[in-house]
Structure 1
Amino acid sequence: MTGLLDTLFDGLALGSVHALIALGFVTVFKASGVLSFTHGSLLLLGGYLVALLHDDLGFAGALALAVLVTAAVAGALDRLVLQRIGTDPHAAHVATIATIGVDIVLATDLTRRIGGDLLSLGDPWGDAVTHLGPTTVADSRIAAVVVSAVAIGGVFALFRYTPWGLALRAAAEDAEAAALMGVRLSRVRMLAWCLAGALAALAAVFLAAFPAPGLERTTGQLALTAFPAAILGGMASPVGALAGSLLIGLTEALVTGYQSDLRFLGDGFGDVAPYAVMVLVLLVRPAGLFAAKGAARV
């Protein structure tokens, strides 16, 4: 029973971090119709900046600067590269493909800089653990849940109570009508990209924290695990992204925790388990768990 509780808490922590990344996918898609594949390199950029700066600025200062820089880079990529492709539905498909190229360029430069090193982000939790009744939980996992909950709550407040959030929801519902009503679509989507970049940088801290050995050149690939979570939720649903992330996080934790009992599925099943869950759910709900009626998969 204790092992199950440990596994479930690990799944909750992992799902909360995935939710940060999945919300980035959803926000960008709502604002621009683009499936962004740059999240891996943006996550790696944020983590690399924290690792580079924490000795001089301290962890909090390095994280704050990394979040701001990564947000600015994401916004600049949209404004200077992707928006030049166009804003109509066909252009969104082309821009989606362009994000793959952008991700390759950024990731290649970052992996060259990191090389074979394991970089410490200087987080204050280290390898400390806390005993919660019969379970033993890494402090980094507790911090991941708490910080992610605060950040996700802030994102939902932005969606609900700010003029930008209203403009984003209007653009997602009918971009042409929103433009006619005075919504500056280019600004809305650029800020959506900034938000996605900031969330990716924040997620990097917890993906590289204990029990992970540190930031390495493959850390950015972990962002792709959040992609099935966004798809499961309906791609345009923030609530769906949160639910899908928790489902994917629990799946990963359970498969890892009970891999000896699941050996008949293959040693590498844990790597594909999130995608297996995605396929199974989409067989029943092709538009995702929280997609609106009549929604079409792009």
Structure 2
Amino acid sequence: MTTLLQTLFNGLALGCVYALIALGFSLVHKASHVVNFAHGSLLLLGGYLVTVLHDDLGFAGAVLVALAGTAAAAVLEALVLRRLRRSASAVPTILTIGVDILLLTELARRIGGEVLRSGDPWGADVVTFAGITVPETRIACLVVTLALVGAFLAAFRWSRWGLAVRALSLDEEAAALMGVRGNRLRTHAWALAGVMATVAAVFLAAFPTPGLDRGTGHIALAAFPAAVLGGLGSVGGALLGSLVVGMAEATAVGYQQHLDVLGGGLADIVPYLVMVLVLMARPQGLLGSKELSRV
């Protein structure tokens, strides 16, 4: 029973981190119809800025600078991708792969073989209740994620900004005729995705993980299946998919000794395995809608 409770909590905490990353994927796709494969390198950039600046600026100051730095991802959309909107749909997505390779290569060069600490205020403190041990960082992760996701969902559902994003996603031309400023909304979407990536990076680099290393950005690849199986472009689907993937991965880790017959490293492939199984049964994702086309 203790193992089950520990696994459930770990899955929930991991799902929260994935939710922040998957929301970034979904929001960018919804606003600009681009799959941003540079999202992982933005996550690593945000975490790197926090780790190198916290000694001079303090943890809060470093996080603020990192948030501003990753929000500047909107510059990529404004200066480059916006010029390619009339190109084939795959061109902007391929461009983000190139940006991801360049940024990851430079960050990996700077980090090298080191493991960097973020200087977060929670340290290695833990809380014990109901027979399980929970790091304070994971409790903070739950609280921060719930606050951010709740604020985002409220704005997306009830604000004029959220209505405009939904209208832009459905029909750009009709939205423009109704006065929706598409370029501004796309900039907001990219900036917000960068901000959420930095918040995710802070918790990925915190205890119980050793810290930030050159491979931390690849964790975003595990959140991409969460966005896809939930229905790429579906905000609710991104949240649901993140919880499913987080729970599945935590279960694979918690019960690894009972799953040796399947081989080691099962947790690394679980997100993709879950994605494949879901898409085989429901190609549009858990909460995605089927595309209709006239013939």
TM-score, length-normalised on structure 2?
0.96
1:292 offset after TM fit, Å?
2.1
Aligned to 1:82: 81
For residue 52 of structure 2, what is the amino acid of its counterpart?
L
User: 2-side partners of 1:19 and 1:68: how far apart?
Assistant: 20
Query: Any residues of structure 2 matched to 1:174-253 within 5 Å, and which?
Result: 174-253=171-250
Aligned pairs, number: 293
Corresponding position of 1:275: 272
Partner of 1:7: 7
Q: Which runs of 5+ in 2 are unaligned?
A: none
Q: Using the alignment, how far apart are the partners of 1:134 and 1:259 within structure 2? A: 20
Quick one: distance in 1 between partners of 2:159 and 2:48? 31
Distance, in Å, in 1 between the alignment partners of 2:246 and 2:210 is: 19
> What is residue 54 of structure 2 aligned with on the other side?
54
Find out whether 1:129 has 2:118 as its counterpart: no
**CA separation in 2, counterparts of 1:81 and 1:163?**
27
| Contact 1:32 1:92 (8 Å CA) reproduced | no
In the other structure, the counterpart of 1:17 is: 17
- 1:285 maps to what in 2? 282
Query: Post-superposition shift, 1:36?
Result: 0.6
Residues 31-61 of structure 1, C-alpha deviations (whole Å, 9 max, x = no match)? 0110110111000000011011111221112
Report the residue type matching 1:81 in the other structure.
V
- Matched with 1:152 is 149
SS in 1 for 2:123: coil
| Structure-2 residue corresponding to 1:259 | 256
Supply the distance in 2 between the matched residues of 1:133 and 1:268 (Cα, whole angstroms).
29
Identity of aligned residues (%): 59
CA displacement at 1:92 relative to structure 2: 3.1
CA distance in structure 2 between the aligned counterparts of 1:112 and 1:284, rounded to whole angstroms: 42
Q: After TM superposition, what 4+ stretches of structure 1 lie above 4 angstroms from structure 2? A: none
Residue 99 of structure 1 corresponds to 96
Task: Give the CA deviation at 1:181.
Answer: 1.6
| Aligned residues: CA RMSD | 1.3
Superposition TM-score, scaled by structure 1 size? 0.95
CA displacement at 1:295 relative to structure 2: 6.3
1:236-280 deviation per Cα after TM superposition (whole angstroms, max 9, x unaligned): 111110010000000110001111111111212211111000111
Q: CA deviation at 1:158?
A: 2.3
Between the aligned partners of 2:291 and 2:78, the Cα distance in structure 1 is 31
